[in-house]
Amino acid sequence: MEVIESHADSSNAAFIRKHAAPGRVGLCGGRDWINKAIRKAQAPLTNDGHRSLWSHAFLFSEQRLDGHWWVLESDLDLRYRQIRLGVQENRVDRYFDDDAFPNLAILDFNLDATQVKQVQVAGLDLLSGLSSYSLSELVGTLFAMHSTRLRKRDNLLAKEGALYCSAMVQHCYAAAGVEFIPGVHGKNIAPQDLYDSVLPHQTHSLIRDLGISSLRRFAHEANELLQTPIEDLL
């Protein structure tokens, strides 16, 4: 029998339970080679030109009768000897592993009850329609990152009925009239775009992996020091 390690008492679990709410956006940055590649590919979108902190985006759906938070996401799930491609619903427990997912963020765009319902319904519509994960669109988005002009156009490799993670989040929020990056096509939205959205929102973040740049680590630590109240330093 396969034994699955529990991470119910991890720092990630506590962070998620504290900040999760229906309709909020979740971001994670993973440590495996796929996640690292996606993070590195988003370097043109970051302020410092280093790899992004984020590799995947998802939506918080609701807390069910089982006591668990469930998320809607478009993902390539290759675990447990099964392959699932596209929009799916999972327990958020999959992101409780502190080592596998050192970076987490939960974004609150202050949706009202009607907007939350619109986002949830849009996600469930995608789920029921068995929308697939689009690797080709992801590649098209990576190409467009280097050109402001291309980012405003339709995804060069767009496919009908297919969405990658952050494009799915934008699709669902569009149902509530929300556009994360005005002027950027919905199928060119990357996880970094969600984090950098110019729309008013509150960001809750847990960051433990800044990438390999010692300069970026120094800048992050200096920024944390500057934001620390003086009384806490004494």
Q: Tens of pLDDT along 39-79? A: 998 888 888 888 999 999 999 999 999 999 999 998 766 55
Range with the poorest average pLDDT among 97-106, 115-124, 213-222 = 213-222
- Cβ(87)–Cβ(163) below 8 Å: yes
Q: Tens of pLDDT along 116-129? A: 999 999 999 999 87
Residues 95-109 as b or e (16 or more Cβ within 10 Å = b): bbbbeebbbbbbbbb
Cα 53 to Cα 42: distance, rounded to the nearest angstrom: 9
Give the tokens for residue 46.
């970051």
> Helices in the chain by DSSP H: which ranges?
11-19, 33-41, 113-128, 135-144, 148-152, 165-174, 191-195, 214-227, 230-233
List, as own/partner pairs, every contact residues 219-226 make where C-beta atoms lie below 8 angstroms and the sequence separation is at least 24, other chains included: 219/48
Going across the sheet that includes 56-63, the strands are 84-91, 69-77, 56-63, 25-29, 103-108, 202-206
Give the tokens for residue 193.
């775009």
* Domains observed in the chain: 11-223 (3.90.1720.10)
Q: What is the DSSP letter of 95?
A: G
Tell me the whole-structure pTM to 2 decimals.
0.78
Average pLDDT for 129-155? 58
